[in-house]
């Protein structure tokens, strides 16, 4: 493989996955993944793209979209990205470009988006795979993206994408690697460059904010999505990127106040009422995810009582509690 190929955004990401496998690569409302986990998902999905040349990316979840983007780069396909919905509309804007395959979020058919085209779930249909040195194959531009709000879709070549990522890395070379928030970028092209540059530098891509909740009940999470999401939240709360889905929350430094912090984050992100008692009884991300997915979380009374109890503590009492924990 030539030096040029080795410097492609995917190869830079793959190098990070090999060198820093346990570091957090992406945190999003639909889950979180370390570099090793994200690489495995991308490799597995890339292996299922077959002869696909033009790939429609309709996945809207941050983790699913990350897997779709990396898998497309890995397989050398052209990824066609949707534009955000126009004001007053729920359906994303879709270009006239025909695609061979559409990648979606798990369980999301995305009606009205490339109807009649074969679909794959970017996560559920992505078996894990190892990062390999397979030669990158390029059959067209890397991306088709809208040039801006209300503007036509334009191609972004592999070389142009690589140059953009290199420039972004150079611009941030003298600064600490901070979490990247790609959807704050002015265009989708800039967002993709920001994501790839963050991964090239070993940073974390953070996609999406708190889930928007209406008066209806929260949507249930499937066990795999819940496990990925909770593993990411465990890592955030414990400030430990090496925490895995089977690690005990309390053995990795957790305590009652951190359990409450975890419960707050679960509610903020997913609208699910998790109690500290749930964390004590099911202290690993995997076990807690199964509990969440089955809808068997504790009633909110114990949660509210703990909130009231902690709210009544003085600052000195909180500091003493943390010291003793």
For 42, what's the count of Cα atoms within 13 Å in the CB-facing half-sphere? 29
Q: Where are the domains of the chain?
A: 3-207, 223-324
Number of H helices, E strands in the chain: 12, 9
pLDDT tens, residue by residue, 31-66: 889 999 999 999 999 988 888 999 999 887 788 899
Could you tell me the sign of the dihedral formed by the alpha carbons of 148, 41, 208, 203, in that order?
Answer: negative
Rounded average pLDDT over 15-24: 94
Task: Answer yes or no: is pLDDT of 5 > 90.
Answer: no
Residue-averaged pLDDT of the chain = 78
Task: Answer yes or no: is pLDDT of 219 > 60.
Answer: no
pLDDT tens, residue by residue, 157-171: 999 999 999 999 998
Span 3-207: which CATH code?
3.40.50.12780
For 26, the enclosing helix (H) or strand (E) is: strand 24-28
Render the burial of 40-52: b for 16+ CB within 10 Å, e for the rest. bbbbbbbbebeeb
Per CATH, the homologous superfamily of domain 223-324 is ACP-like (1.10.1200.10)
Rounded average pLDDT over 13-20: 95
Q: What are phi and psi of 185, to 5 degrees?
A: -75, 155
> Quick check: helix, strand or coil at residue 279?
helix
- Bridge partner residues of 33 (DSSP): 26
Greater confidence, 180 or 325? 180
Tell me what pLDDT residue 30 has.
Answer: 78
Contact 55, 78 (CB under 8 A): yes
Confidence class for position 300, pLDDT limits 50, 70, 90: very low
Rounded average pLDDT over 215-228: 66
Confidence class for position 241, pLDDT limits 50, 70, 90: confident
pLDDT tens, residue by residue, 87-125: 445 566 788 889 999 998 877 766 778 888 999 888 876
Closest by CA position to 141, among listed 188, 51, 65, 73: 73
Collect all residues with Cβ–Cβ distance below 8 Å to 142 and sequence separation of at least 6: 72, 73, 78, 79, 156, 157, 158, 160, 161
């Amino acid at each position: 493989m030539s030096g040029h190929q080795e410097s492609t955004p995917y190869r830079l990401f793959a190098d990070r996955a090999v060198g820093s496998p346990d570091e957090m690569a992406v945190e999003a409302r639909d889950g979180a993944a370390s570099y090793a986990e994200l690489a495995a998902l991308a490799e597995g999905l890339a292996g299922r793209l077959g002869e696909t040349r033009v790939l429609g990316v309709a996945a809207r979840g941050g983790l699913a979209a990350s897997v779709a983007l990396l898998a497309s780069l890995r397989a050398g396909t052209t990824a066609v990205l949707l534009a955000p919905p126009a004001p007053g509309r729920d359906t994303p804007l879709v270009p006239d470009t025909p695609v061979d395959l559409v990648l979606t979020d798990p369980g999301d058919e995305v009606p009205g988006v490339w109807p009649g085209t074969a679909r794959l779930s970017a996560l559920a249909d992505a078996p894990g795979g190892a990062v390999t040195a397979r030669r990158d194959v390029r059959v067209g531009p890397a991306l088709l993206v809208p040039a801006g709000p209300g503007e036509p879709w334009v191609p972004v070549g592999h070389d142009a994408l690589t140059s953009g990522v290199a420039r972004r890395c150079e611009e941030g070379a003298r600064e600490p690697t901070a979490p990247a928030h790609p959807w704050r970028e002015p265009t989708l092209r800039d967002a993709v460059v920001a994501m790839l540059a963050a991964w090239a530098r070993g940073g974390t891509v953070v996609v999406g904010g708190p889930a928007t909740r209406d008066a209806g009940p929260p949507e249930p999470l499937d066990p795999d999505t819940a496990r990925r999401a909770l593993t990411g939240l465990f890592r955030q709360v414990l400030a430990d990127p090496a925490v895995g889905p089977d690690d005990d929350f309390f053995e990795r430094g957790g305590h009652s106040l951190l359990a409450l912090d975890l419960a707050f984050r679960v509610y903020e992100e997913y609208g699910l009422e998790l109690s500290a008692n749930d964390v004590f009884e099911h202290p690993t991300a995997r076990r807690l995810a199964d509990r969440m997915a089955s809808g068997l979380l504790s009633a909110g009374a114990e949660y509210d009582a703990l909130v009231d109890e902690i709210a009544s503590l003085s600052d000195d009492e909180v500091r003493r509690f943390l010291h003793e924990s």
